[in-house]
Amino acid sequence: MKEELAKKIIEDVKWKYDVVSERFSNSRIGSWTELDFLFNKYLEEDDKVLDVGCGNGRFYNKIAPKADYFGIDSSEKLIEIAKKSYSKGRFAVADVLNLPFENNRFDLVYAIGILHHIPSKKFRQKTLDEISRVLRPEGTTVITVWDIWEKTARRKMVVKEAICSVLGLSQLDIGDVLLNWQGEDQFYFHSFSLNSLTKICKKSKLKPVQFGKIPSKKGGTNIFVVAVKQS
């Protein structure tokens, strides 16, 4: 994918999240219990934790009672909601491709449901490079993405888009798809496999220590990787 198009998609995703912020937030009330092990197992007392793509701040109550929490998101509207909902929390609008933190600051970084919205191999790798940069050596990151292949209709859309890409009929990359989501058309997603997600983690000096798939009680499946920063 050309960098100019990737930048336009990033801005479009940001704009769409502002548009759907209220209904998205209403659909993300509280933490889903199937994700609890990602907090119970890896969150340590007094950890410095960054929640990348924090949205409405729904994981604040999972993290803040035990650790030092900071949440960021590119959507101004979602950060406004987070600040209103969790007045004691620290939230900021920030770009995941250029995190406003010094090297080695955090013990733990959560990136729940964000990487599948990042277009192009270059920018997905840059995202993980930034996460790795702000993690201390031997720090941990927890990453989840949608398993888009799990649903037949979406899988067909990915395959169709991939064929168009190979034939030069689409500017999107293989694995990219535009879905109707949260009431908005043409919402960008990248389709990961477990192998492709672990592979790009390794390129950013993030060693996978646990990975797999998490069935959602609301339907669908998430792919997850827990990785440790190599010194």
Q: Is 52 helix (H, G, I), strand (E, B) or coil?
A: strand
**58 vs 29: CA distance, rounded Å:** 6
CATH of the domain at 13: 3.40.50.150
CA nearest to 17, candidates 113, 111, 129: 113
Residue 129 covered by a domain: yes
Residue 10 covered by a domain: yes
- What's the pLDDT score for residue 155? 63
Residue 70 covered by a domain: yes
CA nearest to 53, candidates 175, 157, 145: 145
Residue 11 covered by a domain: yes
Q: How many domains does the chain have?
A: 1
pLDDT in tens, 120-170: 999 999 999 999 999 999 999 999 999 987 765 566 676 777 666 665 667
pTM: 0.93
Residue 107 covered by a domain: yes
Residue 134 covered by a domain: yes
Residue 164 covered by a domain: no
Residue 53 covered by a domain: yes
Domain limits for position 203: 3-148+190-229
